[in-house]
Structure 1
Amino acid sequence: MDVKRVKQILSSSADIEVQYHGTSVWIDQLHEDGKIATVHLRGPLEERSEVAIEDLEEV
């Protein structure tokens, strides 16, 4: 995924499904470098991870 699309998803009020290696995640924030995003799993677990935005995929 590119940085422009990550920013669009973050600013959208719509529920846009994004996956990280086949697992649905929410994007929490985009880091200043534009290459890393903080995400957490959809569902009851709030575990957050920092991932490369190139590994994110819109479904």
Structure 2
Amino acid sequence: MNKQRAQEIAKSSVMCNVTYNGKPIYIQHVDENNETARIFPIGQPENEQDVSLSSLVEK
């Protein structure tokens, strides 16, 4: 996923269908410098992690 689209999704109030390793996730924040995103699986906010933007897929 490109940086700009990830930022749009993170700022949007509308839930987008984005996955990480095949699992639906929520994007909390995008780090432009490192090209990573702070994410967590839907319904599991305690499982936050930083992942590469290239590993995120919008369906």
TM-score where L is the length of structure 1: 0.87
- Equivalenced residues, count: 59
* Equivalent in the alignment of 1:41: 41
2:13 aligned residue: 13
Residue pair 2:3, 2:32 contacting (<8 A) in 1 also: no
Query: Distance between the aligned counterparts of 1:57 and 1:29, measured in 2?
Result: 16
Q: Which runs of 5+ in 2 are unaligned?
A: none
- Answer yes or no: is the 8 Å Cα contact 1:3–1:34 preserved in 2: no
Q: RMSD of the TM alignment (CA)?
A: 1.4
Runs of 4+ in 1 over 4 A off after TM superposition: none
* SS of match in other structure, 1:8: helix
User: Cα offset for 1:34?
Assistant: 4.8
* Distance of 1:50 and 1:4 partners within structure 2: 17
Percent identity of equivalent pairs: 27
TM norm structure 2: 0.87
Residues 12 and 45 of structure 1, relative CA distance in 2, 3 Å threshold: closer
